[in-house]
Structure 1
Amino acid sequence: MPLPRTRRLAALGAGLLVGVSTITTAGGVARAADLSLAVDLTAATHPISAYVYGMNFAEEALAKELRLPVRRWGGNATTRYNYLLDTTNRASDWFFENIPGNTPDPTKLPDGSESDQFVDQDVRTGTDSILTLPLIGWAPKAREKACGFSVATYGPQQSTDQWAPDCGNGVRPDGTQITGNDPHDTSVEIGPEYIKGWLGHLAGRYGDAAHGGVAFYNLDNEPDIWFSTHRDVAPVGATYDEMRDRTYAIAGAVKAADPAAKTLGPVGWGWSSLTLSGYDQQTCSKTGCWSNPPDRAAHGGVGFAEWYLAQMRAYEQAHGVRILDYFDNHWYPQGSGVTSGDPGDAATQALRLRQTRTLWDPTYTDESWINQPVNLIPRMRQMVAANYPGTKIAITEYNFGALGSLNGALTQADVLGILGREGADLATLWAPPSSADPGAYAFRMYLNYDGNGGRFGDVSVSSTSTDQGRLAVYGARRSSDGALTLMVVNKTGTDLTAPLTVTGALPGRTGQVYRYSGADLASIVRAPDVTFDQNGALTSTFPANSISELVVPDAVAPGAPGAATAGRPSRTGVTLSWSPASDNVGIAGYDVWQRYGDTVVKVGSTTSTRFAVTGLTPGRQYTFWVRGRDAAGNVGPPSRPVRVTTPR
């Protein structure tokens, strides 16, 4: 049956090591007889959203280095936050305490709050911000410490804050939970006007979303488990109707205050959030009613997320305003030990790498209490298509663990490749790595592989492996210069040699190779270049436990522009025009050439399809033609020429 995520309770499950058939060469390199990689540049493509490379609370130096696209201010502590007082309630994470923020000058609040400081960093690094807004209806009542379960008021408890011994965990010594406490011990009621006030403050400080201000707002954080995390103010699980009504009120307030801002909801904690309300999760955990949850039964047997999406669509149809932009659900793999910071034993590390399949693989039965295919991103897309088309997909918290280890880095690199390939629209890693952690290098491989801003492509291309579980491959073209980038993750402890074929281009092209592996955990290494044969193929060895990126410059030249034509020439000049050239990526510009007698010169360049030639001599005949040029420097064939004679 469903259990809380592994951050709170260990889920059931065991990892199994799977044997594979390989051929070992004289150099000790394993070449699997069935292992090969293939890229098809003629197949359908789709954009990769830059927002899939986001993090929660990333440190400034790393965010600046990576040019981090988006950063989230989230977690349990943000559900109850008072921006006017810069005070948050830490909920079950820390004894249900109100704790004032570290603002430099409380007399200037709300200016300078911790939420302002968060956005300030993002402004400095050019990162879009996601702030979390409360739907729960409560916020800290004063800028001072207060306890949800005071020992003096509610009696002895199993655990108390060592620095504030009157603050307990709300559990009596006999293990029963304290109930009937007063929410006003810590909190005060808030609603839509509070949201409008906060967004007004943010717009005054940073501009609105359309003018560089805060771009995204989470509609709370994991409201389906408030009954656990915030039970001092929300002891009963949120129902279908409650979530709809609260979303209508708060998301409606967001759109009224800042119409261009994007909202993300319902921000469920994980697998159970897709089908069960908070009320059903709480009720069935006590009664075992998983086969017929009462709240779902009262709503036609429709799973919670699908019902929620349909209700958001109904709001737009009734009011003409979209109040939900992203369908957001968190994901923490439930396999035993996977989300731990400790990489664990060999079986756990192998399981961690397999659990990335929960994001996309309909044939993978999750090795945990879930015990069925998750297929998360396609599943979320199917829910959207059926219930609220046009809604984007977000995972604003996920973590596959062990980011301080090479195993965690390999897993994270695999996850980032999957997010792009499967068409997620936004994702932010929870508990991001420090700059020196191997997990940070997984992000560098996509966002700064060469230390000079080199990035993985932004247009996904068809890339397949005969065994994604051993040697995963992700491919993308970079729209800025047409380069093909291929990310290959060797998830095994053995060097693997495999053929790589590219359909559609690359004959004889040379590619750069950048690699992160156990050979050097402190840097990405430039490995020897590789060269494709005239069939667009090569055979390459990928070291054990490594992430390799192949970067192949665009080799496809533009087509010829349409025939150049000339306007009426003057004695010293003429204006030429032509129809655009085609290119596999895009035309960067045109070079205009001139011949007079035996002299050929380039007379200029332009990004348009018109060019005014000057400095001609009266009474002479000239020939002009145009060649297209792409961002990689490839130059196409000349247009059909045009002859011009200047009048005397």
Structure 2
Amino acid sequence: MSKKIEINISIDTAPVRPISPYIYGMNGVAPASVPPANEVTASAYRLGGNRTTGYNWENNLSNAGEDWQHFNDEYLVPRGKDGSIPAITVTDFVENSKKNGAAAFGSTYALITLPMAGYVSNDNRRAVLPEETAPSARFARIVNRKNRPLSFAPDLADGVVYQDEFINFLLQKLGSARNGGINGYSLDNEPALWPTTHPRIHPAKTTIAEILEKSISLASVVKDHDPDAEVFGPALYGVGAYATFQDAPDWKGGYANKYGLFIDAYLDGMRKVEEENGRRLLDVLDLHYYTEARCHNDHRVTEDRNNNAQCINTRLQSTRSLWDGKYVENSWVGRYLRHILPVLPVVNASINKYYPGTKLAITEYNFGWENHVSGGIAQADALGIFASHGVYLATLWPMTDNLAYSYAGINLYTNYDGKGGAFGGTLVKSATDNIEKSSVYASTDANGALHIILLNKSINETERFSVKIQPDKNYKTFTCYGFDAETPAIKNIDSGSLGENEENTFVYEMPPLSAYHFVLNP
């Protein structure tokens, strides 16, 4: 065993900022179920995705769009539930979210999606043909305000779905945001892609003017009915939408003359509405992020299950596009959209310039191969990055049925000991002198313990870490939990006394591809 210190880690225990408890979240698993509490301990749950664009709360039918032959069907009806009960898809999801949440973080955050593209499914007669594109009898029209008394028993035959009636129904059934109900409402899903994902509902390219008008109108309805609920928007699919709203018809020669990015224009538009009306309508900028980094075979790492060292390393490095301005990923993003990288500093700068006080959410993300240790380490890395850059809420989107290592990446922060042990709530400074081989994140908790997440990204090498903690504070004992390439099960790796440690330094070896959570107690 080499005695050479390969990697130096520095920790400064002075507080930096609170860590939002809602970054450790999950999207629902197919079709609209909360992941099992015995597999993952999450602090937030989102009901979203392509299906929610065409979801009709009155009958719980939805439209699959391009994902599956433009079917109108019962896909979103929870297993074993009666789809004729209005909004059962949403109420069942929210109720289970509140039951399954991470106890260490208090009440679970429940986020649902409100359709906004214009039409929702009106029948369960499967495939919608091109000639049946909305408006047609296959779809019900969305109207934001009924302007008549709201009913708890919606009219299934009027061909219209009222958003204020939907929200009122949810409030009566679940309570307000302040009283344990739905915490946040997302303004649809990936609107820049509507003509691609849902051409039977919204065949024309979405314009920036349209998305601003629709966002303002629907957000106003939410705030009228539940002022404490948070509004998320515009749920952009990725960096192409952040930049130009997928080359929206009114970007070039229009908004591009004033703004560098579409998100600049969106934030400024929503800020102006608050300035004019004295009420904030957008609480959280809602973005999706799927790495585009490519393996040696030109496959995206989110889609590749190749046990190849180059591909595994690409996945492990791909998280750096979120924060590292010196890293350029091998993808069309790295070649053509360098101005949007690194993502989180660029987005936070846009928020600070155009709509200060707006929170940031990453409500869909994935770095691939969720049942391989590299996927688990990338997941743990992403959570540390979100904490470090002030993300308010993040929810992993599952891309496979086996999520064992991705769940381990979350549990390492939320339930490392199987008893609710969690990463601290106050971020402190941490750094590594080798960002290719390692990542480190640190926090303190209310009891004065220091938490350190340490990731060994080396594929074949046991790495020896020297951890230096400043300012001097006498931590007397430690415990260490973690997972590695052998199993996604988080194990108690080690524990003991730190002894008299005047230099406040400890040295530890970690096997290849491993993720550890150290807890140091005073």
TM-score (norm. length: structure 1): 0.71
The offset of 1:435, in angstroms, is: 8.0
Give me the whole-angstrom Cα distance separating, in 1, the residues matched to 2:21 and 2:83: 39
Q: Residue 139 of structure 1 corresponds to which residue in structure 2?
A: 120
Which of the residues 165, 187, 192 maps onto 2:139?
Answer: 187
Give me the whole-angstrom Cα distance separating, in 2, the residues matched to 1:130 and 1:354: 30
The offset of 1:505, in angstroms, is: 3.3
Alignment of 1:381-400 (within 5 A): 381-400=348-367
Q: Compared with structure 1, are the counterparts of its residues 40 and 140 closer, same or farther at alpha carbon in structure 2 (3 Å cutoff)?
A: same
Q: What are the superposed Cα offsets for residues 42-61 of structure 1, whole Å, 9 maximum, x if unpaired?
A: 3x511111111001015656
Q: Compared with structure 1, are the counterparts of its residues 195 and 30 closer, same or farther at alpha carbon in structure 2 (3 Å cutoff)?
A: farther
Q: Residues 275 and 305 of structure 1 are in contact (CA less than 8 Å); yes or no, is this contact kept in structure 2? A: yes
Q: Residues 360 and 377 of structure 1 are in contact (CA less than 8 Å); yes or no, is this contact kept in structure 2? A: yes
Q: Residue 423 of structure 2 corresponds to which residue in structure 1?
A: 456
Which of the residues 456, 467, 489 maps onto 2:455?
Answer: 489
Give me the whole-angstrom Cα distance separating, in 2, the residues matched to 1:536 and 1:302: 47
Give me the whole-angstrom Cα distance separating, in 2, the residues matched to 1:48 and 1:89: 37
Moved over 6 A (4+): 432-436
Q: What are the superposed Cα offsets for residues 604-626 of structure 1, whole Å, 9 maximum, x if unpaired?
A: xxxxxxxxxxxxxxxxxxxxxxx
Alignment of 1:49-448 (within 5 A): 49-57=20-28, 60=34, 62-63=36-37, 66-100=40-74, 101-102=76-77, 106=82, 109-110=85-86, 113-126=88-101, 127-142=108-123, 144-149=124-129, 181-193=133-145, 194-278=162-246, 280=247, 293-297=252-256, 300-336=258-294, 337-340=300-303, 342-371=305-334, 372=338, 374-431=341-398, 437-448=404-415
Q: Tell me which amino acid in the other structure corresponds to 2:289.
A: W
The offset of 1:366, in angstroms, is: 2.6
The offset of 1:517, in angstroms, is: 1.1
Q: Residues 55 and 432 of structure 1 are in contact (CA less than 8 Å); yes or no, is this contact kept in structure 2? A: no
Q: Compared with structure 1, are the counterparts of its residues 208 and 501 closer, same or farther at alpha carbon in structure 2 (3 Å cutoff)?
A: same
Q: Residues 332 and 398 of structure 1 are in contact (CA less than 8 Å); yes or no, is this contact kept in structure 2? A: yes
Q: Compared with structure 1, are the counterparts of its residues 302 and 503 closer, same or farther at alpha carbon in structure 2 (3 Å cutoff)?
A: closer
Give me the whole-angstrom Cα distance separating, in 1, the residues matched to 2:388 and 2:313: 22
Q: Tell me which amino acid in the other structure corresponds to 2:9.
A: L
Which of the residues 440, 465, 478 maps onto 2:445?
Answer: 478
Give me the whole-angstrom Cα distance separating, in 2, the residues matched to 1:508 and 1:234: 59
- In structure 2, list runs of 5 or more residues that go unmatched: 102-107, 146-161, 295-299
Give secondary structure in 1 for the equivalent of 2:316: helix
Q: What are the superposed Cα offsets for residues 338-389 of structure 1, whole Å, 9 maximum, x if unpaired?
A: 1126254211110011110011112212321112261111111111100001
Give me the whole-angstrom Cα distance separating, in 1, the residues matched to 2:224 and 2:406: 39
The offset of 1:67, in angstroms, is: 4.5
Give me the whole-angstrom Cα distance separating, in 2, the residues matched to 1:494 and 1:469: 13
Give me the whole-angstrom Cα distance separating, in 2, the residues matched to 1:273 and 1:542: 40
Q: Compared with structure 1, are the counterparts of its residues 61 and 220 closer, same or farther at alpha carbon in structure 2 (3 Å cutoff)?
A: closer
Q: Residues 240 and 295 of structure 1 are in contact (CA less than 8 Å); yes or no, is this contact kept in structure 2? A: no
Percent identity, please: 29
Q: Residue 538 of structure 1 corresponds to which residue in structure 2?
A: 506
Which of the residues 38, 44, 53 maps onto 2:10?
Answer: 38
The offset of 1:109, in angstroms, is: 2.1
TM-score (norm. length: structure 2): 0.87
Give me the whole-angstrom Cα distance separating, in 2, the residues matched to 1:428 and 1:123: 15
Q: Compared with structure 1, are the counterparts of its residues 467 and 300 closer, same or farther at alpha carbon in structure 2 (3 Å cutoff)?
A: same
Give secondary structure in 2 for the equivalent of 1:316: helix
**Which one has the largest radius of gyration?**
1
Q: Residues 408 and 438 of structure 1 are in contact (CA less than 8 Å); yes or no, is this contact kept in structure 2? A: yes
Q: Higher relative contact order at CA 8 Å, sep ≥6: structure 1 or structure 2? A: 2
Q: Compared with structure 1, are the counterparts of its residues 64 and 318 closer, same or farther at alpha carbon in structure 2 (3 Å cutoff)?
A: farther
Give me the whole-angstrom Cα distance separating, in 1, the residues matched to 2:164 and 2:3: 61
